[in-house]
Amino acid sequence: MIDREFHLQDHDLYLEAFKLAVQIPRGKVSTYGAIARALGDVSASRTVGQIMSADRPRPFPVPCHRVIYSDGRTGWYTGMGQGAERKREMLREEGVDILDDKVQDLERNVFTDFIGDPLLRRMADAQREIASFVSQKGDATRFERLAALDVSYRGDEAFAAMVVVDREGQVLEERTARCTVNFPYVPGYLGFREMRPCTAAMGGPRSDTLYLIDGHGRAHPRRAGVACQFGAVHGVAAAGAAKTILTGAMKGDSLILDGEEAGRLVRTCDGRTYFASTGHKASLDSVCRAISSLPVDPMAMAHRLATKGRRSAS
């Protein structure tokens, strides 16, 4: 049984990372990778670095200066290219030995005994569960309504937009939504950043509509990108229409993942290209036919509407 609340919740990854950072004792350091591993996925180390330097309110003092690179380099403080010397000064004041911008005797000085919520691991498990529910069967060309969803961001604010067109390209509906998102972009976890804003823009789910999501579906490391989450959680037909590749390799127009075609390059009426993949209740062949046969590009229209919402917001 899919836990809808978990997929639609505003998970605060910033807070979870801060809770780990405060555990680093004075006189010790840890690494971005160690915190990412404690969160459940070491590949999120770059995101941890962005979190530590994020300009946002914090509910308690966070010793971000104690978080360094895995090779011992101290790195920046308060943002890329900023505060490097200040960070080294703070560490030296706490008794950390630094030479040539690197922490000495790192193995002895590094702290890794974190206690916390492995949120990313729980999310990955939830995605694998979604993958088991996804249906790759269904004719996407039978839908008379096609709804494209896109999200634009300003800091932690998400501006989502949905544009619905019919088979002739006539706009049937436009909707927008704005909300705060406390989950930064982490490769492979886009659904947990965009499910809430997309759901808000959608309104009520409709069984007579194919939802085209700006992101991947089955063309995902765990076969459950944002399009799969959206489709399975809401029980609607959905497809991914991504602008870039997340994983896999192209062979001709096919996106190959673990020896199988997980996605396909599709061209719109005006020459734009997307990496299409099944989200739910629609086959890849029919998804590609549905997108390429439209006389308009609803994904581009949704993108423009989301961008307009962001730019005009006070």
Residue that has been written with the tokens 């075609």 in this structure? 261
Which stretches of the chain are assigned E, i.e. beta strand?
A: 30-31, 67-68, 98-99, 102-103, 145-154, 157-166, 171-180, 209-213, 237-242, 249-251, 254-257, 260-267, 273-280
pLDDT at residue 81 greater than cutoff 80? no
| Phi, psi values for residue 292, rounded to 5° | -70, -20
Q: 94-137 pLDDT, tens per residue?
A: 999 999 899 999 999 999 999 999 999 999 999 999 999 999 99
**Percent of the chain with pLDDT strictly greater than 70:** 99
pLDDT at residue 162 greater than cutoff 80? yes
Domains of the chain: 12-117 (1.10.10.10), 124-312 (3.30.2170.10)
Q: Which positions are catalytic?
A: 64
Assess contact for 148 and 304: CB atoms under 8 A.
Answer: no
How far is the C-alpha of 225 from the C-alpha of 190, rounded, in Å?
Answer: 7
Per-chain mean pLDDT for the chain: 96
pTM value > 0.75:
yes
Residue that has been written with the tokens 């300009």 in this structure? 55
